[in-house]
């Protein structure tokens, strides 16, 4: 299994390459490319949030706890919350992620569980897409893909380190296959991960205007009837009286 230093190095180099490609090949701004590079670097360490306690894990939780309020503050400012209330929101968000998140993960997860999986990769990318506040869809995609790439580098590196060379023979460690997986051994974490993935996927498709939100726009028949009523006069007298008797 790759160590913390290897994951930091690989994801950092990948982040630099991804940010450079975003700016020079796809025309993103320098600021956007730098943010994407940092997100790629940080996401390369995210799967180790379920590891045993230690200095690298504390550092990772500190970085994650600082990053979450920054992303959420964009939404807070967009609804007019600023000043002291915005500062209070940042402090509460940091405390919840830094201490509450660490406590819940320690109780509910095990190392190499569903945090080391393809569904966890998709969840992290979709959360980034939903939390990053901008009207430009391609910018949100840039950030989400960067998080997915960094997360994927961690999983792939763990799988590569599970292959052991013994002279001319190749041996697989017990951890082989535990990173690049879709399901774990326990039903409850699998169900929670898949349920969360389905909800976030639906929300992402709605935000990307791929799936129509049924509560945001009226049905076509409703639009037509409403338009007809607006154009109609308040009352109308029939040209000829109707014969209501049966022939």
pLDDT (0 to 100) of residue 28: 96
End-to-end Cα, the chain, rounded Å: 90
Query: With 80 as the cut, is the pLDDT of residue 51 above it?
Result: no
Phi, psi of 223 (to 5 degrees): -65, -45
Minimal CA–CA distance to 149: which of 5, 3, 16, 24?
A: 16
Q: Confirm if 129 and 149 have CB atoms less than 8 A apart.
A: no
pLDDT of residue 94: 80
Q: φ, ψ for residue 170 (rounded to 5)?
A: -115, 125
Containing 169, the helix (H) or strand (E) segment is: strand 169-172
Task: Show the 3-state SS of 92-153.
Answer: HHHHHHHHHHHHHHHHHCCCCCCCCCHHHHHHHHHHHHHHCCCCCHHHHHHHHHHHHHHHHH
- 178-233 tens-digit pLDDT: 678 888 777 887 888 899 999 999 999 999 888 887 766 554 554 454 545 555 55
Contact 113, 186 (CB under 8 A): yes
Residue pLDDT, tens place only, 103-154? 676 666 666 677 788 999 999 999 999 988 888 999 999 999 999 999 999 9
Phi, psi at residue 164, to the nearest 5°? Answer: -110, 130
Report the distance separating Cα 42 and Cα 71, nearest Å: 14
Residue 166 pairs with which residues in a beta bridge?
169
168 has pLDDT over 80: no
Distances (CA, A) of 215 to 195, 200, 211: 21, 17, 12
| pTM recorded for the entire structure | 0.74
Query: Residue 193's pLDDT is what?
Result: 86
Q: With bands split at pLDDT 50, 70 and 90, how would you rate the model's confidence at 62?
A: confident
Assign 171 to helix, strand or coil.
Answer: strand
CA distances (Å), 114 to each of 67, 102, 123, 197, in order? 22, 16, 11, 12
Neighbours of 9 (CB within 10 A): 15
């Amino acid at each position: 299994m790759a160590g913390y230093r290897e994951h930091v190095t690989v994801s950092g180099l990948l982040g630099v390459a991804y940010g450079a490609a975003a700016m020079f090949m796809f025309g993103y701004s320098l600021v956007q490319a730098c943010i994407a590079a940092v997100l790629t670097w940080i996401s390369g360490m995210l799967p180790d949030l379920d590891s045993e306690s230690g200095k690298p894990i504390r550092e990772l939780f500190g970085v994650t706890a600082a990053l979450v309020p920054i992303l959420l503050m964009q939404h807070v400012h967009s609804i007019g919350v600023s000043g002291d209330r915005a500062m209070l929101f940042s402090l509460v968000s940091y405390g919840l992620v830094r201490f509450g998140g660490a406590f819940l993960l320690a109780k509910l997860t095990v190392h190499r569980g569903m945090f080391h999986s393809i569904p966890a990769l998709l969840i992290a990318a979709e959360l980034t897409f939903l939390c990053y506040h901008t009207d430009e869809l391609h910018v949100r995609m840039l950030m989400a893909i960067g998080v997915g790439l960094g997360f994927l580098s961690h999983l792939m590196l763990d799988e590569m380190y599970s292959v052991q060379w013994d002279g001319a023979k190749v041996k697989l460690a017990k951890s082989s296959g535990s990173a690049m997986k879709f399901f774990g051994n326990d039903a409850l974490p699998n169900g929670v991960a898949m349920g969360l993935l389905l909800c976030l996927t639906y929300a992402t498709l709605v935000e990307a205007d791929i799936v129509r939100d049924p509560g945001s726009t009226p049905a076509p028949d409703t639009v037509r009837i409403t338009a007809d009523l607006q154009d109609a006069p308040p009352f109308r007298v029939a040209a000829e009286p109707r014969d209501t008797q049966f022939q």
